[in-house]
Amino acid sequence: MQAKVYVVDDDQGMRDSTVWLLQSVGLEALSFASGQAFLDACIDDGPACVLLDVRMPGLGGLAVQQLMKERGLDLPVIFVSGHADVPIVVRAFKAGACDFIEKPYSDQLLLDSVQAALERAGRARQSDQALAQVQARVDGLTPRERDVFVPLAQGLNNREIAERLGVSVKTVDLYRGRVMKRLQAGSLAELVGMAIACGVVPALM
């Protein structure tokens, strides 16, 4: 899928030159003159990042970043500003910005920052997809398989699980094998990792 860069800046000259630069290296660039226009149009449908001006009429960059979080738009944000003071930079990074570039900036600096942000977005998307696949496998377990899966992930051995469920150790062993196969877990450690990632058991027990 084509990577997108959202360019949000009230300075039309800056927007146009940035869009041209991004398109010249084969990126899809979408420009917006205000934070609100960007928020109204932005959808998280593929690898993307946001070039966000800090100071704009109406919604400033930090407010846009906060609203993105509230709406579940988990896109890497690169702030650009001609008036970068330390408190603003600190606030931006604390809120999760991946870079802060001062205007005027060199083309290469901007392109390098955008490339790093898009790589970060791609990794996050792959991680989300992998977790969704694991969750689907966990959701597909039968009630009895889940009865074995949960205590197994909690660290109980076959005998302890058998006593808890009132079945034979041989039955638990059979279901344990089925659970490992259904979840495509190559080891008990991998199975525990899946259980933690899906929230079946807490990370610290």
Q: What is the pLDDT of residue 34?
A: 92
109 and 81 belong to one structural domain: yes
Determine the angle formed by the axes of helices 169-183 and 188-197, rounding to 10 degrees.
70
Does residue 95 fall inside a structural domain?
Answer: yes
Residue 117: predicted pLDDT: 87
159, 66: one domain: no
Which of 74, 102, 125 is the endpoint of a domain? 125
Is 69 found in the same domain as 13? yes
Domain boundary residue, one of 76, 101, 125: 125
What residue type is assigned to position 136 of the chain?
Answer: A
Whether 132 is in a domain gets the answer no
Whether residues 91 and 144 share a domain: the answer is no
For the chain, list the strands marked E by DSSP: 4-8, 28-32, 48-53, 77-81, 99-102
Q: Which residues contact 76 (CB under 8 A, 6 or more apart)?
A: 49, 50, 98, 117, 118, 120, 121
Is 74 contained in some domain?
Answer: yes
Distance of CA 36 to the CA centre of its chain: 22
Same domain, 120 and 157: no
- Integer Cα distance of 128 and 125 in angstroms: 5
CB 104, CB 36: distance < 8 Å: no
* Beta strands 4-8 and 77-81, pairing class: unpaired
| Main-chain phi, psi angles of 6, to 5 degrees | -90, 125
145 with 92, same domain? no
Amino acid making up residue 80: V
pLDDT at res. 205: 46
Same domain, 32 and 55: yes
Do residue 121 and residue 146 come from a single domain? no
| Structural domain count of the chain | 2
**For residue 96, what pLDDT is reported?**
72
Residue 134 lies in a domain: no
SS3 (DSSP) at 146: helix
Domain CATH for 104: 3.40.50.2300
For residues 99 and 153, membership in a common domain is answered with no
Which residues, 6 or more positions from 127, have their beta carbon under 8 angstroms from its beta carbon?
A: none
> Are residue 41 and residue 116 in the same domain, yes or no?
yes
CATH number at residue 146: 1.10.10.10
Q: Are residues 115 and 148 in the same domain?
A: no
Per-residue model confidence as pLDDT tens for the chain (205 residues): 678 899 999 989 999 999 999 999 888 999 999 999 999 988 877 788 999 988 888 888 889 988 988 888 888 899 888 776 666 777 777 767 778 888 888 889 889 989 888 888 777 777 777 778 888 998 999 999 999 999 988 888 999 999 999 999 999 999 999 999 999 888 888 888 888 888 877 765 4
Residue 28 structural domain: 4-125
Which residues neighbour 35 within 8 Å (Cβ) at sequence distance 6 or greater? Answer: 8, 52, 56, 58, 59, 60, 61, 63, 64, 67
Alpha-carbon distance 40 to 26, whole Å? 25
Q: Are residues 115 and 18 in the same domain?
A: yes
Residue 133 within a domain = no
